[in-house]
Amino acid sequence: MGTGRPTISCCMIVKNEEAFLAQCLESVRPHVDEIVIVDTGSTDGTVDIAKRYTDKVYLHPWENSFSKARNYSLSYAAGDWIFIIDADEELLPDSGPLLRATVANAGSADILLVNIISIYAKGKRAARHNLERICRNNGAIRYEGIVHNQMVGGTETRASKIELKHYGYDLDEKKRNEKFLRTAGLLKKAIEQEPENPLPHHYLGASYLSLGMHDDCIRESLLAIELADMQGNTDTAFLCSHYNAAISLLGKGETDRAGKLARKAAAFFPDHLDSHYILTLVSAEKREWGNVKAHGGKYLKLLDMYNAETEKAGMVLNCTLKEAPAVHILIGYAEYHLRNLPGMLVQFAEACRKSECESDVWTRTADYFLDVCEDLELARDLLDRIRGVSREERKFLYTLARLNERSGRSEEERLCLKKICRADHPDHMDIRLLKRLALLCMEAGDYSEALESLQEAGKIDPADYSVLLNTARVYNKLGRFRQAVESYSTALECREAIADHIPWIELGDLCVGLDRPEEAALFYNRALEIKPGNLDAVLKAAESELLLGRIEDFIGRCDSALKQLGLSRDRVVNSMDDVRGILLEIEAELNDAPELSEMVLRLMRLLPDSGSKRIPVDMPGSR
């Protein structure tokens, strides 16, 4: 390798990396003198891909230690310098030429830091940190640690502007779980060997966080912090322990504990980006708007600095690189509550500028003013700022539908929900939206469309009580009585029906409409067993008894109505005129209930003529 310039060996360890490896090697090959690859047991096409780029491919069985594998790769290197990269990383284009210049100008440094940008959450989030990835090939520098191995043996470390992009955290669920099981197993083994070492606890906490296991993350992260504090360990890695625990505590609603951890980390390292992000969230949750502006402003200044001068972060991992839009939005909320609406709009505009999707900003802010502030006018103004195809996006339509519901604009809400439900894939329809759309269609008298929505909802949950009831009601409105009865019957088998008298009343009404008063009386009686004294059921039961000519039972229902209304029941009925007088008393008490009042008037119209024979019964209340 006698070129007169420092030579560079790229050293890698790999296993089953066929998805990423070619992309990685393409980014590196033009900028190094050799590529050394140690494979630890691939069963896919990794080795074949590696051999297309280098003849220095070595097979070593996995020995449950990343450091051992790393050190094997270093042992084969022939260059003056060693550059370490993982298969799921990529050397950014501008950093390729910079690699040569950096080692040529390293001076007395023997370890160089590289800035690594980790992408996760399907590209929506990113973290950045500097890590030792370049070292002199002097035989003294090596790796230690079985999982998150560390470069040791150097005498002077210097930062660089070289950047790698890391995709290894942005995995599908299956691969993420496999990686977690492998990593967590090794970390637990490391903890068994060195229970007082805080680093394995730190990394285990991070692993738990990656799967949303908040309680486990909090436990391990706090243990890492406690051990580090006891030992006086000032490694900046434990700033990340504070962040991991705090973000999990926020996920559990423990705002005060999260804020305490973030303040502690910021006191140790005032320019810790993630701590100011946490403190912005905590302040917003506690409605401390001045602190939202202070911590949010500090976060934004630090973010600009670290993006422009990555080396200034040192070895600190910053996990919140893509949270600038969220922070601008929170500062905007602060400006609103501090009555600075122009300042609010400036912050929202900045959030849009830095966001990958402008409509997300306006939708998110509209949700806040709709749900939290109940400022419907401002929520609508923010939604009106969305233009173009974004107005057909599901998130926008859903927020607009909710806004229209709160504003009493039923028809506009119905149109939004129709667009959503028609666009949703049949396998991913939302039963709540389908049920709401069906209700709106029923209110509008569009029973055919209501039935379509209810049938789709029924496919999602065939035993949903409200869906079955509303389906019965729609069938009834459409004159499909047999299907209505079937739907009522199925609904009444549901657990919710045990305490619900309404469907029995509706079944009774259906039978009255079909001129089947005997069955109607049975259904009304069942409703009264569930809810004794319900005036609606009492009066309807009275009607069915009257239609059946059962005068004594009819008078018993009238007595029940008197009882519910608190009217005198101590009386004797000698004629239909007496019954008519009782009904007039009942009707007079129902001025505030026009539907019930109309039912009483209907009963009066159904009464036999006054000249009918004497009624041979007394009011039950007179006995």
- Chain centroid to CA 419: 22
| Separation CA 597–CA 556 (nearest Å) | 19
224-233: buried (b, 16+ CB within 10 Å) or exposed (e) per residue? bbebbeeeee
Report residue 458 as tokens. Answer: 């029924």
Report residue 148 as tokens. Answer: 């998150």
- Chain centroid to CA 76: 48
Report residue 339 as tokens. Answer: 């009555």
Burial class of 8 by CB neighbour count within 10 A (0 to 12, 13 to 18, 19+): buried
- Sequence-distant (6+) residues with CB within 8 A of 588 are none
Report residue 521 as tokens. Answer: 């009386």
Own/partner long-range contacts of 37-40 (Cβ < 8 Å, ≥24 apart) = 37/11, 37/12, 37/13, 37/73, 38/11, 38/12, 38/13, 38/14, 38/69, 38/72, 38/73, 38/76, 39/13, 39/14, 39/15, 40/13, 40/14, 40/15, 40/69
Regions of the chain where pLDDT drops below 70:
1-3, 121, 123, 146-148, 170-173, 176, 610-623
User: Taking the model in full, what pTM does it have?
Assistant: 0.78
Residue 234: count other Cβ atoms within 10 Å of its Cβ.
10
pLDDT of 425? 86
Report residue 455 as tokens. Answer: 């049938």
Q: pLDDT per residue over 156-211, tens digit each?
A: 999 999 999 988 776 666 776 777 787 888 889 889 988 999 999 998 999 999 88
pLDDT of 242? 97
pLDDT of 183? 80
Which residue is listed with tokens 């900028």?
31
Do residues 57 and 47 make contact, with C-beta atoms less than 8 angstroms apart? Answer: yes
Terminal CA-CA length for the chain: 118
pLDDT of 1? 52
User: No. of H helices and E strands in the chain?
Assistant: 27, 11
List helix spans (H) across 156-232.
173-193, 198-210, 214-231
3-state secondary structure of 164: strand
| Separation CA 569–CA 573 (nearest Å) | 11
Residues across the chain: 623
Report residue 34 as tokens. Answer: 């050799």
What letter does residue 623 receive in the DSSP assignment?
-
Do residues 557 and 536 make contact, with C-beta atoms less than 8 angstroms apart? Answer: no
Angle at CA 319, nearest 5°, toward 318 and 325?
105
Report residue 456 as tokens. Answer: 């789709």
Report residue 132 as tokens. Answer: 């030792």
What letter does residue 132 receive in the DSSP assignment?
E
Do residues 338 and 373 make contact, with C-beta atoms less than 8 angstroms apart? Answer: no
Report residue 573 as tokens. Answer: 């009925």
Beta strands in 349-444 (DSSP E): none
pLDDT of 127? 83
Do residues 490 and 467 make contact, with C-beta atoms less than 8 angstroms apart? Answer: no
Backbone region of residue 382 per phi and psi (left: phi > 0; alpha: psi in -120 to 50; beta: other values): alpha
Reference 71, options 17, 131, 152, 8; nearest CA is 152
Cα 532 to Cα 50, 519, 561: the distances in Å are 80, 19, 11
| Separation CA 590–CA 439 (nearest Å) | 28
Report residue 513 as tokens. Answer: 């409409």
| Separation CA 403–CA 412 (nearest Å) | 10
Cα 501 to Cα 287, 311, 481, 523, 556: the distances in Å are 45, 71, 20, 9, 20
Q: What are phi and psi of 52, to 5 degrees?
A: -75, -15
